[in-house]
Chain A
Amino acid sequence: MNLVNAMKRVAALLGILALPANPAWADSIASKVEELGKMKYLNVSSLKTVNRNGLLNIQAEITNDSASNQQLFYRFKWFDGNGFEVGGEEPWKPLTIYGKQRQNITTVAPMPQATDFRLVLQSPDNETTSPSSW
């Protein structure tokens, strides 16, 4: 629980303003997604997790609101029950999302110990809100 709170704080600091289609997802999506800046045209419209054979399976749907193709870079971070990162750093993966497309990203945890995750997203058109708290 502590972790989730900490995560929310981090999300707030980073200025994440999640505007998902379904408000019910808002909390859970924002807490699992780390955007480097605010993505201008892309958003995570749904995020599902399921445990299969002891491994965490994840499916995230990315929606491109604009009509033009968007480039996205993403990777997952994996945490064990104690909040420690496990499985090593993942490589960044490039993904092209066509105009108005909904694209799923699916993945599996690298090991059974990984029980929590963050989806890290970066799009070249990210906007950063100026750090007004300074």
Chain B
Amino acid sequence: MNPTSVIRIKSISALLVAMSGSLLTTGCASTGSPIVGSGPVTYGDAKAVESVTNEFGSTDLQTMAEAMTRSLIQSAVIARGNRPLITIAEVKNKTSEYIDTRSITDSIRAQMLKSGSVRFAVDTHAMQNQTDELIRQNQTGLYKKGTAKKIGGMEGADYRIEGNIASIVKLGSSVKDVYYKFSLMLVNVETGVIEWADEKDIRKTSSR
């Protein structure tokens, strides 16, 4: 192989690299990407840090839920390893922003269940569906006797999770500063003892 052919090969590979690069960036249909339409829509990383505005956002939700879960599974009553039964009471929203605290507690519950260290009882919000189903199975007469789940067999939760989210908003002439504080606690239902509590705070500042 003489030197010129080496150069040629190199330049061809460079060209190929350049071409594949351009194909990647333009998402050209000729490569057969599984895409319909060519609108200005892209799918991004659902876990990316969102800094579009400084209202409560996806990153705040995700990091709060994660921090709380990690702290909670280390708490003495859960680390004991007897998989206690927990229910989620309300997380109060003390801010004047429309924050869906239930989606935070849903995330916490999902992550806690994934850890396998706890069990959850239906919360008050899902109670309606639970009782409806039991009543249907038992009172409509449509179900086989042995399979209808008995009324009176629901398990009471050992602990409940409750908390609140608060915020402090300050507006300067060129700066908006938002501070969120998410507090959560684990209460023993029988004794009323607070077994665990933690806080996660987030500060977001934006210049106007």
**Interface majority SS on A: helix, strand, loop or mixed?**
loop
The interface-forming segment of A19-27, A32-40, A104-112 is: A104-112
* A89-B47, A90-B66, A91-B62 known; A110+B13 contact, CB < 8 A: no
A88 at the interface (CB under 8 A from B): yes
Chain B, interface size: which category? 20 to 34
Chain A, interface size: which category? 20 to 34
Per-residue CB proximity of A70-86 to B under 8 Å, as 1/0? 00010100000000000
**Interface majority SS on B: helix, strand, loop or mixed?**
helix
Cα A112 to Cα B79 with chains together (Å): 10
Cα A94 to Cα B71 with chains together (Å): 19
Chain B residues, Cβ within 8 Å of A54:
79, 81
Residue with the greatest number of chain A CB neighbours at <10 A, chosen from B45, B46, B51, B115 = B115
Cα A55 to Cα B75 with chains together (Å): 12
| Interface contact A92-B49, CB-CB below 8 Å | yes
B48 at the interface (CB under 8 A from A): yes
Interface residues of A in 85-127 (CB under 8 A from B): 87-94, 107-108, 110-113
> What are 20 A-to-B residue pairs whose CB atoms are below 8 Å?
A52-B74, A54-B79, A55-B73, A88-B111, A89-B47, A90-B66, A91-B63, A91-B66, A92-B48, A93-B63, A94-B49, A94-B51, A94-B59, A107-B70, A110-B73, A111-B73, A111-B114, A112-B116, A113-B116, A134-B17
Extra pairs beyond A92-B45, A94-B49, A111-B115 (13, CB < 8 Å): A55-B79, A87-B114, A91-B47, A91-B62, A91-B66, A92-B47, A92-B49, A108-B73, A110-B70, A110-B111, A111-B114, A112-B117, A113-B116
Name A residues whose Cβ lies closer than 8 Å to a Cβ of B: 52-55, 73, 75, 87-94, 107-108, 110-113, 134
Name B residues whose Cβ lies closer than 8 Å to a Cβ of A: 13, 17, 45-49, 51, 59, 62-63, 66, 69-71, 73-74, 79, 81, 111, 114-117
